Amino acid sequence: MNDLTPFDFALRTRILFGPGKLTELGDLSKVLGSKAMLVLYEEAPGLEEYVALAEHALIEARVDVIRFERIQPDPKAAIAEEGARLAQREGIDLIIGIGGGSVLDTAKGISMLTKNVGGVWDYVMCNPDRREPEEALPKILIPTTSGTGSEVSAGAVFTDPQREMKGTIVSPMNAPEIALIDPRLTLGMPPELTAACGADALGHCLECTISKNRTPLGRAFSYEGVRLAARHLRAAVHDGGDIVARSGMALAATYGGLGLAYSAAIGTHSLSHAMGALVHVPHGLCIGLIEPHMLLHNLSECMADYVALAPMFGVERRGRGDEAVARNFIAAVTDLLRSIGIPERIRVKPDQTTGEFARALAKNAKKSTPKSVEFTPAPLTMDDMVEMYLNVVHS
């Protein structure tokens, strides 16, 4: 990539980062609205204290509050549509999402659908007749996991069970006015969730560093995110109370979200979305499964990038040529993922043979997230995707 590639950059979101930042929610909110909807998980053990703190801060700032506690992992399009109808009935003028990527994406969907006609699928990228949203309610997004970076990105991903697909809405209207990142909110994440979310954050940063659609600024954010994840991911998984590691991963996830906003994901995300839609594997786990295979697939096109990233993972040149260093980099990323519990393969129970199922996944990946396939540095064919699936799933 030419470091002087022309680009157009506008960071719409104000970002507040650091332990204790949640206490500023009231003062931040009253400038944006007077009646807020808190978008929350249906069940959120361990977050009750922080939700209560947020609600108290809003009431103290004289912002009226209603709760919308309907969100589950892999958010359904219908739930965002339900939330938008409620927001319209209640006269909501501010949306606040407190949760992981599913909550934050749903908050974006509610914000957008409240001010536009139609439903989620009218706006997703894989719909050839999609509409462009014209406006949205202001929103504040507060992550409680360190994975998607949705708090700063322009994307929101939704599942449609009837279509058996995931679709992404990408619009400047999705960018929140404020991202409030308080790493304390991630301290209660169990190791398995920390690992899956961390694999997602690392994946975003790696992909946006090498994407064909990368920009100099997007690459800069992503590059720093890789460094932070390489340094802090293992510690965050193995010692959940380590606030330094938690802070490092919270910032890595945010940098990954900024990478997505100003570069783009590659085929790893296409393949992961299909697995989530058809067999409901958690998104971060899918990313961790597929990432080593995608890195290897792009080796010939991205060797210089891998060599540049290698020292972050402790890979030294020691007289080796570029290809050897690049392959050691891929091995080091793979070792990191294995050390936090991401398996090499997972078992699924499809109705078809494994080969038929892998081809069905590949078709879904190409249909649901075509741009990520397009932005993969090395051409990514149906046969390539089938081979990757066969490497990570077995029946």
Per-residue pLDDT of the chain (395 residues; tens, 9 = 90+): 566 778 787 888 999 999 999 999 999 999 999 999 999 999 888 899 999 999 999 999 999 999 999 999 889 999 999 999 999 999 999 999 999 999 999 999 999 999 999 999 999 999 999 999 999 999 999 999 999 999 999 999 999 888 888 999 999 999 999 999 999 999 989 999 999 999 999 999 999 999 999 999 999 999 999 999 999 999 999 999 999 999 999 999 999 999 998 899 999 999 999 999 888 889 999 999 999 999 999 999 999 999 999 999 999 999 999 999 999 999 999 999 999 999 999 988 766 778 888 999 999 999 999 999 999 999 999 999 999 999 999 87
Q: Which of 387, 196, 174, 186 is nearest to 276 (CA)?
A: 196
Write b or e for each residue in 126-152: b if 16 or more Cβ atoms lie within 10 A of its Cβ, otherwise e.
beeebeebeebbbbbbbbbbbbbbbbb
pLDDT given at position 350: 67
User: What pLDDT score was predicted for residue 134?
Assistant: 94
pLDDT value at residue 320: 94
Q: What fold is seen in the domain 14-186? A: Rossmann fold (3.40.50)
What's the confidence (pLDDT) of residue 1? Answer: 53
- Sequence ranges of the domains in the chain: 14-186, 191-394
What is the C-alpha separation between 146 and 250, in angstroms, rounded?
5
* Residue 343: strand, helix, or coil: coil
Check residue 100 and report its DSSP letter.
S
> Looking at residue 374, what is its pLDDT?
97
Confirm whether pTM is higher than 0.85. yes
Angstrom distances, CA of residue 339 to CA of 113, 217, 225, 293: 41, 31, 19, 17
CATH number for the 191-394 domain, one of 1.20.1090.10, 1.10.3720.10, 3.40.50.300, 3.30.450.20?
1.20.1090.10
Q: What is the pLDDT of residue 2?
A: 60
Give the integer Cα–Cα distance in Å for 116 and 118: 7
Please tell me the predicted confidence (pLDDT) of residue 236: 98
